[in-house]
Amino acid sequence: MAEPPPTEGVVKLVHDILVTAPSKEELYSRFCDVLCSCCSHGITISKKKLEMGQSVEFAGRIVNSSGVHPTRLPPSRTFPLPHDVLSLCSFMGMCNQLMSLLFDLSHAMKATRCLLQKSHASEWTDAMDKEIRDLKSRCLCVQPLKTDATKCSP
């Protein structure tokens, strides 16, 4: 099934749809268009998941007139550096929460990720320790709408 063409003020992310507009009238018009499009493509909308207001949660973010903000940032400043595989799992989980806010974070975690693979008997190296310190430093730079952590100095 082909997706409908993009519409101004409408963002689709997996199973969620965000509709924004500069006025209530325009919002109503766009919302009606989205409902009609969903209906014509056999997509049902859950009334209990519908949120409308000056500030709404969408894809783990708060969206309002001042921008897009993470709903909750992990406590990266106080998060301890990992020293074993179990604490590395927790650390990587914190990093994954910030994936959409930091440019190329997945690639930056590549070397360290091999420690989590059961098929690889890897040793903890100085290079991996440096990568973890760099990752933590990048996580400290997270701000709303930042996509490139190199612009921030912790």
pLDDT at 148: 33
Is 103 in contact with 139 (CB distance < 8 Å)? no
Of 70, 104, 119, the residue at which a domain comes to its end is 70
Pairwise CA distance, residues 69 & 63, whole Å:
7
Q: Is residue 131 part of a domain?
A: yes
The total number of structural domains that make up the chain: 2
Question: Mean pLDDT, to the nearest integer, of 52-71?
Answer: 78
Average pLDDT, the chain: 75
Domain region containing 109: 85-151
pLDDT at 67: 77
Question: Mean pLDDT, to the nearest integer, of 15-23?
Answer: 86
Question: Mean pLDDT, to the nearest integer, of 117-138?
Answer: 77
Give the CA distances from residue 134 to residues 14, 52, 97, in Å, rounded to whole numbers and listed in that order. 31, 39, 16
Scored b (16 or more CB within 10 A) or e, 96-110 reads ebbeebbeebeebbe
pLDDT at 76: 62
pLDDT at 151: 40
Looking at the DSSP bridge assignments, the partners of residue 12 are 17
Q: With pLDDT > 70 as the criterion, what percentage of the chain qualifies?
A: 73
Does this model's pTM top 0.75?
no
Q: Is residue 1 part of a domain?
A: no
Q: Is residue 77 part of a domain?
A: no
Question: What sign has the CA pseudo-torsion 108, 94, 117, 126?
Answer: positive
Pairwise CA distance, residues 32 & 71, whole Å:
28
